[in-house]
Structure 1
């Protein structure tokens, strides 16, 4: 807006109105209102980002066979992160056998850390593919390798620990024969039962890393308990329910907690089958659980005692009253209730692998939603999501242009006030 002309020594200046500012703002924003160009820009940006992401994944897959162990490790970690945080079914299903071959090679020829990463990647691959023929093919290739490492006492202990966990989850997702599930459970039993305190009260000599292996085997065994037939649950209860409390005296807090949660799970399962079930050593078991729920031993770390007491209060309620302390998981606009030991064991296992991506998988992963009976995914469809992003871009550009116009207009008004002050 041009400055007012000076007349008779005074500045004849009209104040700058909001209407003037809005006119100038509109002139700056007119180009932003063309929705078509914004849609094209957003679409191109999305397509470019998707192509870049898929290119990175292809590089990771190729790098899993690199001569450098460090490069292979980085590639495995990159694939793990991608599968934990995104749904990649179409991309992965086309390359599943290539990825499976890479995992098998890393498990057989790699060292501890690399083997552990490969085992975790196998689980994420099955989670992405879901329960069906594709994951079954992957698992048929990897199951013998998992079991060979698990049963090899000379194998790297970190690799054995990872295989104990991964074999359990992959069996849950991809095993198509319940008899094979039972056979895998027996493999786990041969491991964790070695930590049982003997009937004469003597303790087995087990190192901390091996104890962790036994703990992982116990948790995988408990996971597979959740899909056993009722008749097999009865057999398991008769065989192990009297012996599992021996693990409660273990020196390792994680083993004690795993044993307590497994006992609570087994009581829940057997009572679902037989509401009148009675356990012969029920009172001694409750006394032991109560002691752990109120543990004040000075030789144990405070954090371990706090964690242990919290868990065993819930375990004691489960054994005494058949109660479960429910928890609500919120993700997006939905909620899921963890209302049983079965659901807790399943949820904790999946969360161990997908980590912070668990909420996203609960929203978008059809297999995981099916496991927790959440129904079809309720994510916004791609067209609506694209429209929303376009709308956000338009708002951003409009606000930026409006801010620029207002600033420019106010600067002119400040110039006029200076002129007024000079006369």
Structure 2
């Protein structure tokens, strides 16, 4: 995965309302000609309206930034959520770059003095800020300020468990984006190891008694640890394989389905990385591991929920193929006029990590965010004007008509089939 250091080119005090989906959608894709500031690409007739909408949008963002220091926790929470939504759905490099220290100070204050949900929102905003700034000096400075606070919260057993869960996820992606020292990457991975290894089954096969919330913390830590595996050197990976591959199997016996799945996907990722280093890679416990994976891929234990079993079986069928055959179930992601193949466990872990923060804005970031495009080796952003984008999008009404026609066709086909069954029954 490339780690080139490059930049993206991408108020009022008092209570403010959270940034809404409606606000987020205002001409979002009409700014694709620059992918940095949201410059207008409309014709002369619509230029004034676009400029006005952009000014209103930035005015609202400034209000959010001001409100992150409000005395009211509810107002601060709304401001953080508003900034999160904006950064997930727009490329705001110039606007954010000019105010990054102010935003960083606000995140630091909310992490230190906030509670639960406010800390969660601040941790997520830190990640989105790094994604907007890209891999370079600016995001490194942001992360240098926030990393000690993240690690303190993560290691503090008395800290709010929701805050620790959020930090476990944010610390992983921020490290991927903004950490420049591989030794510091290793130190962060050890912080994660100190948590998820507590979920290891004991030597006698019994699982430790862990609350669901603590198990979620361990799962988030494992996923972030796996994300950082994708940027480890060959020598580091060899040490990790020797130290952890055998022990990770103990997590497959966890009572938490999410932990079992995270462990399975991490094992598949490790096998893929190991075979990249050495195509003849062999694992002493291969037969035992395959037996465990096969049991999870065909699990029919009655004490487990049906949805959990269905989800687990689907994942572990793919994990088993990865371990036995080195195979991966490829997936195609379409965005704008482009498409990208998720064709490896490395790519999947990286894509899932970014999507967790960007959410529904992932396709837009794949199209417009220079840093994310660099990570996935997509090349420079393609310049697409708003008229082309609008022509490409299917309106909600057209989708409704299409779905209605498909539903009627299915109903008609099924009715004919039912009629045939009735006819057969009468004879």
Q: TM-score, normalised by structure 1?
A: 0.81
Shift of 1:205: 1.8
1:146-180 alpha-carbon deviations (Å, 9 max, x no partner): 00000000000000000000000000000010110
In structure 1, the residue matched to 2:236 is 232
Say which one has the larger Rg: 1
Distance 2:386 2:118 in 1: 38
Matched, 1:182 2:181: no
1:205-224 matched pairs, under 5 angstroms: 205-224=209-228
Pick aligned residue for 2:288 from 284, 288, 301:
284
Distance 1:319 1:385 in 2: 45
In structure 1, the residue matched to 2:65 is 61
Structure 2 SS opposite 1:94:
helix
Shift of 1:274: 1.1
In structure 1, the residue matched to 2:94 is 90
- Structure 1: where are the runs of 5+ without partners? 1-37, 390-423
In structure 1, the residue matched to 2:201 is 197
In structure 1, the residue matched to 2:422 is none
In structure 1, the residue matched to 2:109 is 105
Shift of 1:41: 3.5
Matched, 1:122 2:126: yes
Distance 1:129 1:83 in 2: 11
Conserved in 2, the CA contact under 8 Å of 1:76 and 1:118?
Answer: yes
Distance 1:308 1:118 in 2: 32
In structure 1, the residue matched to 2:50 is 46
Structure 1 SS opposite 2:164:
helix
State the Cα RMSD in Å.
1.3
Conserved in 1, the CA contact under 8 Å of 2:207 and 2:253?
Answer: no
Shift of 1:385: 4.2
Distance 1:379 1:385 in 2: 10
Distance 1:388 1:45 in 2: 19
Matched, 1:379 2:383: yes
Conserved in 2, the CA contact under 8 Å of 1:106 and 1:118?
Answer: yes
In structure 2, the CA distance between the partners of 1:339 and 1:387, relative to structure 1 (3 Å rule), is: closer
In structure 2, the residue matched to 1:171 is 175
In structure 2, the residue matched to 1:18 is none
Pick aligned residue for 1:321 from 321, 325, 330:
325
In structure 2, the CA distance between the partners of 1:252 and 1:135, relative to structure 1 (3 Å rule), is: same
Conserved in 2, the CA contact under 8 Å of 1:233 and 1:270?
Answer: yes
Conserved in 2, the CA contact under 8 Å of 1:363 and 1:379?
Answer: no
Pick aligned residue for 1:368 from 372, 389, 392:
372
Distance 1:278 1:146 in 2: 37
Distance 2:124 2:389 in 1: 36
- Structure 2: where are the runs of 5+ without partners? 1-41, 391-427
In structure 2, the CA distance between the partners of 1:48 and 1:250, relative to structure 1 (3 Å rule), is: same
Distance 1:111 1:299 in 2: 36
Q: TM-score, normalised by structure 2?
A: 0.80
Distance 1:265 1:386 in 2: 41
Shift of 1:386: 7.9
Equivalenced residue count is 349
Shift of 1:388: 9.3
In structure 2, the CA distance between the partners of 1:107 and 1:369, relative to structure 1 (3 Å rule), is: same
In structure 1, the residue matched to 2:135 is 131
Shift of 1:285: 0.5
Distance 1:92 1:322 in 2: 42
1:237-260 alpha-carbon deviations (Å, 9 max, x no partner): 000000001000000000000000
1:348-372 alpha-carbon deviations (Å, 9 max, x no partner): 0000000000000000000000000
In structure 2, the CA distance between the partners of 1:146 and 1:364, relative to structure 1 (3 Å rule), is: same
